[in-house]
Amino acid sequence: MRILFIGDIMGRAGREALETYLPELKRDLEPDVVIVNGENAAHGKGITEKICTQFYDLGVDCITSGNHIWDQREIIPYIARDARLLRPDNFPKGTPGSGVLRLELQDGRVIVIVNLMARLFMDALDDPFAKLEEIAAENRLGQTCQALFVDFHGETTSEKYSLGHHFDSRVSAVIGTHTHAPTADAHIMSGGTAYMSDAGMSGDYDSVIGVRKDIAIHRFVRKMPGEPLIPASENKTLCGVFIVTNDNTGRAVSIEPVRLGDTLSNVRPKPA
């Protein structure tokens, strides 16, 4: 299975990057599934129904999220009726929405997409390791599904690596999000799980993790509140990862970073 995952969409620059580069990536890479983390898509704060529709119209199959999922109040009633918009599955029981999507492709193959949130320096949610144990037990690679993809939204590489190693061979991929900085550690773990600590942000990198640099710098230098955190929007770069898995085993065959745009060095996976 060919899986294209795009990291955190940050404001208008991120949305424009997706609109610009996703069509050519779909043409060149021929992904079976396109997954996008959209938790910062609405001016850096959450996501809206309108933006979800725009993403689906571009060919996105599933939207994951993280700690900013509730920033737009309108998303609370909407997420309950959109199975393709995920929030971390380790939110408390009774939280609207779901963190798992079982997606059947037109050819009958099945991918299970999981959204989890880490706990170090994050909100005190339920145990993501225990939650993924339950999900992996119900969705066995090569038996009940052809791929199991995990977006692990968190601050620390240690927690992300630990989850990756703990579930190595039992899930197809563990890809981190949240820090808005693409890491250089994309690789396949010894048991066959594709791993990357952070897929990076899609947005304006002439910024401070997507925020206008003058506003962020003022807060560090003056140690006083200033303007609200406004996304930078002059340049646009798309970041993510492209993974190919073996349908028989569900394990990864290859993993390649994706970086296209104005600021970072561009990395484009080989065409199909």
Burial (CB count within 10 angstroms: exposed 0-12, middle 13-18, buried 19+), residue 102: middle
Q: By the 8 A CB rule, do 182 and 259 touch?
A: yes
Q: Is the pLDDT of residue 170 over 80?
A: yes
| Token pair recorded at residue 75 | 């998303």
| Token pair recorded at residue 204 | 């304006």
Write the pLDDT tens digit of every residue in 3-47. 999 999 999 999 999 999 999 999 999 999 999 999 999 999 999
Site of tokens 């798309």: 238
| Token pair recorded at residue 127 | 């145990």
- Strand 33-37 to 173-177 pairing: unpaired
Alpha carbons 9 and 238: distance in angstroms, whole number: 8
CATH number of 2-261: 3.60.21.10
Catalytic positions: 68
Write the pLDDT tens digit of every residue in 50-71. 999 999 999 999 999 999 999 9
Q: Where are the domains of the chain?
A: 2-261
Alpha carbons 139 and 3: distance in angstroms, whole number: 18
- Work out the number of other CB atoms within 10 angstroms of the CB of residue 12: 18
**DSSP string covering 40-86, please?**
BTTTTS---HHHHHHHHHTT--EEE--TTTTSSTTHHHHHTT-TTB-
Alpha carbons 17 and 55: distance in angstroms, whole number: 12
Residue 129 has a pLDDT of: 98
- DSSP character for 100? E
- Binned at pLDDT 50, 70 and 90, residue 115 comes out as very high
Mean pLDDT for 59-88 is 97
Alpha carbons 29 and 32: distance in angstroms, whole number: 9
